[in-house]
Amino acid sequence: MRLLAVFLLSVNLLADWPQFRGNPSLTGVATAGLPPENLKLLWTWEGGESFESSPVIAGGVVFIGAGNGDVVAIDLASGKTKWKYKTGAEIGESTPAVAGGMVFIGDLRGGVHGINAADGKGVWTFKTGTEIKSSPVVVDDRVLVGSYDQSVYALNAKTGKQLWRFETTGPVHGTPGIANGVAFVTGCDEHFRAIRISDGKEMFEVPSGAYTGASPLLEGNMAYFGTFGNEVYGVNMAAKKIIWRYEHPVRKFPFYSSATLVNGKVILGGRDKMVHAVDAKTGKGAWTFTTRSRVESSPAAGGSRIYIGSNDGRFYVLDANTGKKLWEYEAGAALSSSPAISDGRVVIASQDGRVFCFGG
């Protein structure tokens, strides 16, 4: 029993962050392996290429897509390169997903790549109609990803074979959120859609009335996301309707950042240079924190702390309850990438080609 307890504790401490927002519900919340209160820079990886993709962490390895098309694996403990895989095209915001010994990512020529996680060898490539900025999500034996060809695809994770394709009426920029066998997609076609994962059939849609680049946060019967209509929505998925809308009373700017949910507050960045916290039940503003530039990074949460980057080149740690700044680090270049948390460390990448790892 003692050995079992030690094993379970070690697994709990690692707590992988294997995809964009950490899990298929896109909550952005780390439940174990949290960083210490007093952070310091542990290592910096110099890539030489801009990073808009966000890092993920699985099995003690950091995976990220670089602007030049390289998918890179970096040892979390040391910051040393393990391997690089060349997609042959540039990579934008698409963030890797790691599952079943494979790494999946999309590129700006419409390719979806399945890569061996251990050695970086390519296993398969699938071509969509045009660029991919959506991040893949793995559900059982299939990979779900959106494309700017106005479609959501389900691919066989082992072979890359198309299982189904669902066509919307606009580019699919965001990452599908997954709950109860259904993929929920916020669309550039101004609709929030529920698509059955087993066969690609639409279950329902909710008109949002606004272009949406952010991905939906799913919690219980609710979905939360910001829009280019300068609002944040709370959508009741059981009732199939928007039950509240939040808009800052003065500053009217789009929301590109995807949200996290901490202590009853929906927290996300805005292009108004602020981080916003909104009451999850009422949609009323709770607090804001002002940076020096737009905030396109999506926050990661650990305990009552929020970790987020800003295009002002600073990495911030905020108190989730009050919005008070607890710590900041000057990275020197825009941080539109989103943080990943695992094994007591937090990792984020900058637009001047560096990956930063912080811990105790």
Q: Is residue 9 part of a domain?
A: no
Give per-residue pLDDT as tens, 84-104. Answer: 999 999 999 999 999 999 999
Evaluate if residue 8 carries a pLDDT over 80: no
Q: Is residue 76 part of a domain?
A: yes
**Which amino acid type is present at position 73?**
A
Q: How confident is the model at residue 14 (pLDDT cuts 50, 70, 90)?
A: low
Q: Is residue 11 part of a domain?
A: no
Q: Is residue 183 part of a domain?
A: yes
Q: How confident is the model at residue 205 (pLDDT cuts 50, 70, 90)?
A: very high
How many CB atoms are closer than 10 A to CB 191? 18
What's the 3-state SS for 164-226? Answer: EEEECCCCCCCCCEEECCEEEEECCCCEEEEEECCCCCEEEEEECCCCCCCCCEEECCEEEEE
* 3 state SS of 7: helix
Q: How confident is the model at residue 279 (pLDDT cuts 50, 70, 90)?
A: very high
Q: Which has the higher per-residue pLDDT, 3 or 68?
A: 68
pTM of the entire predicted model: 0.95
Q: Is residue 48 part of a domain?
A: yes
Evaluate if residue 192 carries a pLDDT over 60: yes
Evaluate if residue 152 carries a pLDDT over 90: yes
**For position 213, which CATH number holds?**
2.130.10.10
How many domains is the chain built from? 1
d(C-alpha 176, C-alpha 172), whole Å:
9
Report the pLDDT value the prediction gives residue 11, as an integer from 0 to 100.
Answer: 38
Q: Is residue 2 part of a domain?
A: no
Q: How many residues does the chain have?
A: 360
Q: Is residue 7 part of a domain?
A: no
- Its domain, for residue 162, covers 17-359
How many CB atoms are closer than 10 A to CB 90? 17
Q: Is residue 8 part of a domain?
A: no
Give per-residue pLDDT as tens, 106-120. Answer: 999 999 999 999 999
Give per-residue pLDDT as tens, 304-353. Answer: 999 999 999 999 999 999 999 999 999 999 999 999 999 999 999 999 99
